[in-house]
């Protein structure tokens, strides 16, 4: 469940944690867009290392590493599928550019994971809800979203308990063929889904009995306000976007195989 651990927010104070979630989100989306723009490994590597100052400033390196480790399985899968398809389509030859291309695709995925990880690690669910509300998202939706985010670790913990309970009944998750292994997860997924639904119904009842939605017009104790750091991040984001689009359009990007 290390993937979820890499997304779990922990209360720490750092310059990154104090940034406005809206600007941070714009930044993450920009990184996302830039990662999609390029398919060469050099700019993607650059993008990967660009996040490091954020991670270090926010002091979340350990959790961030854990989320990368959690993504490693899927990353490996992407790499293998890419190499395999080019291997078969290029007439059963393994070419260096093909491998490099597969590595670039994998890196693209890793960049997406790392930027989202930084966002969720440094943004509290409350902040996130506030940001949604102030972006004119109806409160019901904002609330549903923050609740969903908040319950991810709870569900992860529950999944662990369910796995334990089924293992105690002789279920061996890592046994059998690939298809069998996937099917092994049915006894874990069904209780997880059922209990999530049951939990949500209970939550709804508990909230309604505490007069949720009684007042139509809500006000907030804390309001989001853009500060100097936020403007700085916005400038950096715009800068990254401009540079990226310029490079994409006008600068020929060599591959590593060409450089060698």
Partner 1 sequence: MIVAEDVHFSYPNKVEALKGVSLTIKDGEFVAIMGQNGAGKSTLVKHFNGLLKPALGTVRVDGVETKKTSVATLARNVGFVFQNPDHQLFSETVEDEIAFALKNFGFEPEVIEKRVTWALNLLALTQYRKTSPFLLSGGERKRVALASVLAWDPQMLILDEPTIGQDHEQKEKLRQFIMQMQTQKKTVVIVTHDVEFVAECNPRVVLMKEGKIVADGVGKEILTDPALLELSSIVLPQIAQIFTKLSVLGLPKDIIDIYEAKEIILKAQESGLRK
Site string for partner 1, 131-170 (x = CB under 8 A): ---------------------------x--xx-xxxxxxx
In angstroms, give the least distance from the CB of 167 to partner 1. Answer: 4
Distance CA 180, CA 86 (A): 28
In angstroms, give the least distance from the CB of 68 to partner 1. Answer: 17
In angstroms, give the least distance from the CB of 194 to partner 1. Answer: 6
Count of residues touching partner 1 (by CB under 8 A) = 19
Instruction: Please answer whether residues 220 and 130 qualify as being in contact, where contact means their C-beta atoms are separated by less than 8 angstroms.
Output: yes
Length of the chain: 260
In angstroms, give the least distance from the CB of 192 to partner 1. Answer: 9
Cα–Cα separations (whole angstroms), residue 213 to 41, 139, 140, 216, 217: 50, 9, 9, 7, 9
Non-local (6+) Cβ contacts of 218 within 8 A are: 133, 139
226 is written with which tokens?
Answer: 């853009």
11 versus 169: smaller Cβ distance to partner 1: 169
Distance CA 202, CA 37 (A): 44
Instruction: Please answer whether residues 162 and 188 qualify as being in contact, where contact means their C-beta atoms are separated by less than 8 angstroms.
Output: yes
In angstroms, give the least distance from the CB of 120 to partner 1. Answer: 18
9 versus 38: smaller Cβ distance to partner 1: 9
For partner 1, the binding residue among 36, 198, 246, 253 (CB under 8 A) is: 198
In angstroms, give the least distance from the CB of 203 to partner 1. Answer: 15
In angstroms, give the least distance from the CB of 123 to partner 1. Answer: 21
Cα–Cα separations (whole angstroms), residue 3 to 64, 74, 90, 121, 150: 10, 11, 35, 12, 15
- DSSP class of residue 217 equals S
Tally of CA atoms within 13 A in the half-sphere of 209 that contains its CB: 6
106 versus 166: smaller Cβ distance to partner 1: 166
40 versus 72: smaller Cβ distance to partner 1: 72
Cα–Cα separations (whole angstroms), residue 250 to 48, 244, 245: 22, 10, 8
Site string for partner 1, 165-194 (x = CB under 8 A): xxxxxxxx-------------xx--xx--x
User: End-to-end distance of the chain based on CA atoms, in angstroms?
Assistant: 40
Instruction: Name residues contacting partner 1, limited to 33-72 (CB under 8 A).
Output: none
For partner 1, the binding residue among 14, 40, 195, 200 (CB under 8 A) is: 195
**Binding residues vs partner 1 (CB under 8 A):** 158, 161-162, 164-172, 186-187, 190-191, 194-195, 198
């Amino acid at each position: 469940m290390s993937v979820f651990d890499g997304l779990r927010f922990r209360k720490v104070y750092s310059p990154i944690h104090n940034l406005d979630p809206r600007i941070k989100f714009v930044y993450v989306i920009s990184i996302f867009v830039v990662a999609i723009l390029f398919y060469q490994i050099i700019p993607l590597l650059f993008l990967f290392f660009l996040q490091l100052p954020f991670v270090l400033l926010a002091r979340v390196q350990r959790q961030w590493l854990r989320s990368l480790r959690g993504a490693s399985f899927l990353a490996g899968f992407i790499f293998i599928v890419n190499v395999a398809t080019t291997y078969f389509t290029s007439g059963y030859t393994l070419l260096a550019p093909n491998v490099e291309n597969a590595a670039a695709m994998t890196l693209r995925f890793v960049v997406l994971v790392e930027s989202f990880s930084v966002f969720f690690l440094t943004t509290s669910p409350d902040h996130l809800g506030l940001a949604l509300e102030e972006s004119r998202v109806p409160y019901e939706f904002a609330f549903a979203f923050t609740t969903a985010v908040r319950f991810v670790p709870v569900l992860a913990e529950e999944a662990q308990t369910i796995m334990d309970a089924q293992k105690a009944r002789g279920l061996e998750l890592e046994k059998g063929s690939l298809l069998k292994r996937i099917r092994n997860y049915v006894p874990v997924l069904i209780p997880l889904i059922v209990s999530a639904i049951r939990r949500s119904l209970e939550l709804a009842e508990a909230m309604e009995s505490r007069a949720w939605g009684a007042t139509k017009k809500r006000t907030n104790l804390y309001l989001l306000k853009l500060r100097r750091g936020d403007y700085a991040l916005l400038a950096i984001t715009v800068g990254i976007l401009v540079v990226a689009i310029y490079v994409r359009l006008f600068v020929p990007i060599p591959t590593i195989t060409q450089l060698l």
